A and B are shown apart, each in its own frame.
Chain A
């Protein structure tokens, strides 16, 4: 068995304010194998984006990564220098952000923004970099890439800009791509095109992908494995087939039940009762307990620790019985 590409243990990221330090990410464990696509799913405020940024040490004050190990190819990124991290970012670990309208600098040309990703990591000529950038654009299906490189972000549609971001991520043939809800801001047809591209490119280049999303349908289509996040921790993780077909955590079951595909046409959409607890009012015991239909007395006292059943692990005192379908 080969060692994983990325192994995260007990990652904890807090946000400081006058009253204290509030954990947005509270003991996250993750494993990403080389070349696989791991979906990290959760609702708004569950800490999934913060997890992504914590991995590459891009958490700005008042946020701070306070605990945990982030082992990337055997190197602990938590102890890496800022210069070492800069060398890794965009080179070994690329990122794609959520809103393509905001992530490209409006006053710099696409060519410059793509080339800098190359030139900051490798010593090649500008011409060489431009050629690579054009090839990358062609690869994600952007026609006449040479002409496009001279253009500016406002001359691209949202979907095109996200393709530019994907092409940029691929430039240095990274080992890992962290994609933070990259299709959320796009319409559905563009979304499935992008998903298809990413899956294809991941296979071609062997890059592993950590795909952060709130959309289980995307995970089902794209990912090999899934980790479900709630209130700053992973509550259930396993292969996509295991977790989506046989969820053990009531939260995962609720998420699956609330998707439009799970109900008959004309029926009212189901939802999980209540709201995700905010960062400074997490309940004692299991954080999902106040919203859980299966809660027991023990749930308000003891925080469940992960229990696993082969590759499938979940944190619940009273898991959904095996074999029940959503």
Chain B
């Protein structure tokens, strides 16, 4: 186990290093932030001073090395636009995104797993066909359009839910959350649903495929031959086996939603990390973009690690051992 953790740690550092190079070069390539940051009426001397102050006068390789040196000390740079550390800016937005994604993934699991089981157990039945047809819709509708339709239906036409924003929040242990106020929850429902729909579809597909495959396995027939009740055959024998792929996908989806729920946050004006990313890209706020991608990478690495540990808990055949390949 220790060897395994150590091995994963080294892997993670290499991944972070590779990502930092790619991102740094990419943001360098997309444009010169000075044009956006410096007002046109500023004198050439002031302009040059500004460029020097932001470190943009150095060649790209040197800029990268400065960044890397600071990053090792835990400093991912200051926002060009806001003048505060980029990491603080991102972390301040994290709770909003996190609660959104948490609700979305729970919704996807709570709805997706039972529907998937239903569809997998009787693939030929009418409800199953309807569910599977629904998944195609869930996958293929673009997020921004679906978001706008939800707003049109539930906010504009029915007037049940607010159109945008985060609503009232309360502070729990220093973190602002809208999960604990009625107004906050009302604001949360639509964006969470919008994020949940494609994941619901994914869960249904995964669980349905897993179930219909598991039902043909000998261990299911054997359990029935032992006189095990159908409920237990499905709920224990089958579900336990199909949870393994479900956990993998849910973990990866969780990471990608936290990092990149940009479109939904934009449509619903949700003040989360995704909204920050898109704003930073518009303003060419390089340190924030780079810091954002670095943190997202870190998140993925962490989630993957967590998934591996969950695997070992779910599947007794999996042993976490450090094998250097």
Cβ A91 vs Cβ B227 within 8 A: yes
- Give CA–CA (A99, B227) in the complex, Å: 19
A237 at the A/B interface (Cβ < 8 Å)?
A: no
Cβ B219 vs Cβ A104 within 8 A: yes
B25 at the A/B interface (Cβ < 8 Å)?
A: no
Cβ A95 vs Cβ B316 within 8 A: no
CB neighbours (8 Å) of B225 from chain A are 56, 58, 89-90, 94-95, 97
Cβ B227 vs Cβ A86 within 8 A: yes
B243, closest chain A residue (CB): A107
Classify chain B: how many residues form its interface, as a range.
20 to 34
Cβ B240 vs Cβ A58 within 8 A: no
Q: A105-B223, A107-B316, A152-B316 are in contact. Are A86 and B240 (CB under 8 A)?
A: no
Residues of A within 8 A of B (CB): 56, 58, 86-91, 94-95, 97, 99, 102-109, 113, 116-117, 120-121, 152, 154, 165, 168
B99: shortest Cβ distance to chain A, in Å?
Answer: 32
- Give CA–CA (A89, B230) in the complex, Å: 13
Cβ A106 vs Cβ B227 within 8 A: no
A83, closest chain B residue (CB): B229
CB neighbours (8 Å) of B227 from chain A are 86-91, 117, 120-121
Cβ A107 vs Cβ B314 within 8 A: yes
Residues of B within 8 A of A (CB): 217-219, 221-229, 232, 236-237, 240-241, 244, 314-317
Cβ A116 vs Cβ B226 within 8 A: yes
CB neighbours (8 Å) of B223 from chain A are 105, 113, 116
A101: shortest Cβ distance to chain B, in Å?
Answer: 9
A84: shortest Cβ distance to chain B, in Å?
Answer: 11
B240 partner, pick from A56, A104, A108, A120, beta carbons under 8 A: A108
CB neighbours (8 Å) of A105 from chain B are 219, 223, 237, 240-241
Cβ A102 vs Cβ B228 within 8 A: no
B217, closest chain A residue (CB): A102
CB neighbours (8 Å) of A117 from chain B are 226-228
A180, closest chain B residue (CB): B225
Cβ A106 vs Cβ B232 within 8 A: no
B221 partner, pick from A97, A108, A113, A154, beta carbons under 8 A: A97
B236: shortest Cβ distance to chain A, in Å?
Answer: 7
Q: A102-B219, A104-B219 are in contact. Are A120 and B316 (CB under 8 A)?
A: no
CB neighbours (8 Å) of A91 from chain B are 227
Cβ B222 vs Cβ A154 within 8 A: no
A171, closest chain B residue (CB): B226
B276: shortest Cβ distance to chain A, in Å?
Answer: 41
CB neighbours (8 Å) of B316 from chain A are 106-107, 109, 152, 154
Q: A99-B218, A102-B217, A120-B232 are in contact. Are A107 and B224 (CB under 8 A)?
A: no
- Give CA–CA (A195, B187) in the complex, Å: 68
Cβ B317 vs Cβ A86 within 8 A: no
Cβ A89 vs Cβ B219 within 8 A: no
CB neighbours (8 Å) of A99 from chain B are 218
- Give CA–CA (A117, B226) in the complex, Å: 6
B314: shortest Cβ distance to chain A, in Å?
Answer: 7
B222 partner, pick from A86, A97, A109, beta carbons under 8 A: A97
B241, closest chain A residue (CB): A107
A95, closest chain B residue (CB): B225
Cβ B237 vs Cβ A102 within 8 A: no
CB neighbours (8 Å) of B244 from chain A are 107
CB neighbours (8 Å) of B218 from chain A are 97, 99, 102-103
Cβ B222 vs Cβ A152 within 8 A: no
- Give CA–CA (A87, B228) in the complex, Å: 9
Q: A103-B218, A108-B237, A168-B226 are in contact. Are A116 and B314 (CB under 8 A)?
A: no
Cβ A90 vs Cβ B241 within 8 A: no
A154, closest chain B residue (CB): B317
Cβ A120 vs Cβ B229 within 8 A: yes
CB neighbours (8 Å) of B224 from chain A are 58, 86, 89
B229 partner, pick from A86, A108, A165, beta carbons under 8 A: A86
Q: A102-B217, A106-B219 are in contact. Are A120 and B228 (CB under 8 A)?
A: yes
CB neighbours (8 Å) of A154 from chain B are 316-317
A36: shortest Cβ distance to chain B, in Å?
Answer: 21
Q: A97-B225, A120-B229 are in contact. List 17 more A-B contacts (CB 8 A).
A: A56-B225, A58-B221, A86-B229, A88-B227, A90-B227, A91-B227, A95-B226, A99-B218, A103-B222, A104-B219, A107-B240, A108-B240, A109-B316, A116-B232, A117-B226, A154-B317, A165-B222
CB neighbours (8 Å) of A106 from chain B are 219, 241, 315-317
A178, closest chain B residue (CB): B225
B236, closest chain A residue (CB): A108
- Give CA–CA (A113, B219) in the complex, Å: 10
12 pairs, A vs B, C-beta closer than 8 Å? A90-B225, A103-B219, A104-B222, A105-B237, A105-B240, A106-B315, A107-B315, A109-B316, A116-B232, A117-B226, A120-B229, A154-B317
A103, closest chain B residue (CB): B222
Cβ A152 vs Cβ B219 within 8 A: no
CB neighbours (8 Å) of A58 from chain B are 221, 224-225
CB neighbours (8 Å) of B217 from chain A are 102
- Give CA–CA (A94, B225) in the complex, Å: 7
